């Protein structure tokens, strides 16, 4: 059978399909440094990122081999040793950011777990935040939430209705704040709330 050379991928101006790209420890190290240059990360998250990189480079998204898992362990350990990855520092930073955004501690704990922060480190980060602040994390987060959503004392005067108040209570409780805390925050004055903000 004669092959029509005009119908090959090269003749049509395209490239011939290539096989899977090679994965090496050096590639994983470059990929880790590139990722960490853009995002802060936990050890667990960096492992997951590197595993996904390997899957994308293998045929049919095959999971990493034992050898490749060894490379991942080596690269992650090196990143930890050089200080590029620090779960405790990541947890402290994340707690501060989420409190400023108005997230209650229960949601913060879930977020840290999802990001791969070990439970002991997450608990320590929340305890440390509470120890350094004048108010506990939940009160600060609730004050930030009230301010951001323009609830309570930050509400416009023309919206001071009982119906609006009930909607605000429901929204805060759905966000994860306790009823007693919601009640306190919606009854607080603007000056009291500003004093609580992180």
* Tens digit of pLDDT at every position of the chain (198 positions): 555 555 555 555 566 556 567 889 999 999 999 999 999 999 999 999 999 999 988 877 788 889 999 999 999 999 999 999 999 999 999 999 999 999 999 999 999 999 999 999 999 999 999 888 777 899 999 999 999 999 999 988 777 778 888 999 999 999 999 999 999 999 999 999 999 987
Q: What is the pLDDT of residue 163?
A: 85
* 197 lies in the same domain as 103: yes
Instruction: Cite the DSSP H helix spans in 133-175.
Output: 137-149, 162-174
The model's pTM is: 0.77
The residue with tokens 């004093």 is 195
What's the sign of the alpha-carbon dihedral 126, 131, 134, 139?
Answer: positive
Query: Both tokens of residue 157?
Result: 């005067």
* 125 lies in the same domain as 57: no
Q: What is the pLDDT of residue 198?
A: 76
* 52 lies in the same domain as 115: no
* 129 lies in the same domain as 60: no
Tally of structural domains, the chain: 2
Cα dihedral 101/103/104/109 (nearest 10): -120
Q: What is the pLDDT of residue 182?
A: 94
Whole-Å CA distances, 197 to 101, 127, 133, 191: 10, 18, 10, 10
Instruction: Please give the Cα distance from 63 to 51 (Å, whole number).
Output: 7
Instruction: Please give the Cα distance from 81 to 108 (Å, whole number).
Output: 27
Nearest to 32 by CA among 17, 20, 48, 16: 48
Nearest to 175 by CA among 96, 97, 104, 94: 104
Q: What is the pLDDT of residue 125?
A: 95
Q: For residue 157, give its domain range.
A: 87-198
Instruction: Please give the Cα distance from 82 to 108 (Å, whole number).
Output: 27
* 62 lies in the same domain as 109: no
Query: Measured in Å, how far apart are the chain's first and last C-alpha atoms?
Result: 77
Q: What is the pLDDT of residue 188?
A: 93
The residue with tokens 């997230």 is 103
* 176 lies in the same domain as 100: yes
């Amino acid at each position: 059978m004669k092959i029509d050379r005009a119908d090959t991928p090269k003749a049509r101006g395209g490239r011939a399909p290539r096989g899977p790209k090679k994965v090496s420890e050096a590639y994983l190290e470059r990929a880790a440094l590139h990722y960490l240059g853009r995002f802060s990360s936990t050890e667990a998250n960096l492992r997951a990122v590197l595993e996904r990189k390997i899957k994308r480079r293998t045929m049919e998204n095959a999971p990493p081999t034992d050898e490749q898992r060894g490379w991942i362990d080596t690269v992650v350990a090196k990143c930890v040793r050089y200080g590029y990855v620090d779960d405790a520092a990541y947890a402290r930073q994340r707690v501060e950011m989420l409190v400023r955004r108005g997230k209650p501690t229960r949601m913060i704990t879930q977020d840290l777990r999802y990001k791969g922060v070990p439970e002991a480190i997450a608990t320590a980060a929340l305890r440390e935040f509470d120890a350094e602040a004048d108010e506990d994390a939940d009160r600060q987060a609730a004050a930030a939430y009230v301010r951001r959503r323009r609830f309570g004392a930050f509400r416009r005067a023309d919206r001071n209705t009982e119906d609006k108040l009930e909607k605000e209570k429901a929204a805060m409780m759905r966000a994860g704040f306790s009823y007693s805390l919601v009640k306190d925050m919606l009854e607080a004055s603007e000056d009291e709330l500003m004093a609580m903000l992180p």
